[in-house]
């Protein structure tokens, strides 16, 4: 059985392969390993997304920082495309909600499992209201720390 994303041609074999590859990447990582035993021993979604972007270099995807819902700081990968069927709508002035927006959540909030691939296009998608980009929430020192952690993660990867 096809998923709705496959049926509506919002993902292709490359996307499916990317999800599999990121899943294998996550499964092969060790925990961060802080000795105090609290949640600091987990890698952040921020560092994991940066590392996945660097490692796989998926065409058309970029790292998005913001929030999930009203409060949770979060980072994910996003791809926005304009299909040929959307161009006339775009030219008529429909600047928003035109094209497709696909989210690859590498390390989903409050979930077991991941990564997950989501369609955040159009008014009927609940995901566009939950994944809110907002880079202004973060200080440069935070972003540098995520990149430092991503470098550590990448040094752990055996290719």
Return the pLDDT at 36.
Answer: 54
**pLDDT tens per residue, range 52-63:** 999 999 988 999
Asked whether residue 151 is domain-assigned, the answer is yes
Asked whether residue 67 is domain-assigned, the answer is yes
- Could you list the residue range(s) of the whole structural domain that residue 142 is in? 12-156
Best-predicted range by mean pLDDT among 93-97, 98-102, 118-122? 118-122
Q: Percent of the chain having pLDDT more than 70?
A: 81
Return the pLDDT at 87.
Answer: 55
State the total domains in the chain: 1
Asked whether residue 61 is domain-assigned, the answer is yes
Average pLDDT, the chain: 82
Q: CA–CA separation, 41 vs 33, rounded Å?
A: 5
Return the pLDDT at 63.
Answer: 95
Asked whether residue 99 is domain-assigned, the answer is yes
Q: Is the pTM of this model over 0.85?
A: no
Residue 114 neighbours by CB under 8 Å, 6+ apart: 23, 26, 105, 106, 107, 108
Asked whether residue 36 is domain-assigned, the answer is yes
Asked whether residue 113 is domain-assigned, the answer is yes
Asked whether residue 6 is domain-assigned, the answer is no
* Structure letter (DSSP) for residue 1: -
Asked whether residue 101 is domain-assigned, the answer is yes
């Amino acid at each position: 059985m096809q998923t709705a994303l496959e049926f509506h041609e919002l993902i292709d074999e490359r996307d499916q392969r990317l999800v599999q590859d990121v899943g294998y990447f996550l499964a092969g990582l060790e925990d961060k390993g802080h000795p105090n035993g609290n949640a600091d021993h987990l890698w952040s979604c921020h560092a994991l997304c940066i590392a996945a972007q660097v490692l796989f270099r998926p065409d058309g995807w970029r790292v998005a920082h913001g929030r999930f819902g009203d409060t949770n700081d979060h980072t994910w990968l996003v791809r926005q495309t304009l299909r040929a069927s959307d161009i006339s709508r775009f030219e008529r002035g429909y600047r928003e909600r035109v094209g497709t927006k696909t989210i690859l959540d590498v390390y989903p909030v409050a979930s077991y499992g991941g990564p997950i691939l989501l369609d955040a296009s159009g008014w009927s998608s609940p995901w566009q209201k939950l994944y809110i980009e907002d880079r202004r929430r973060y200080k440069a020192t935070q972003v540098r720390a995520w990149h430092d952690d991503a470098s550590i993660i990448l040094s752990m990867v055996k290719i």
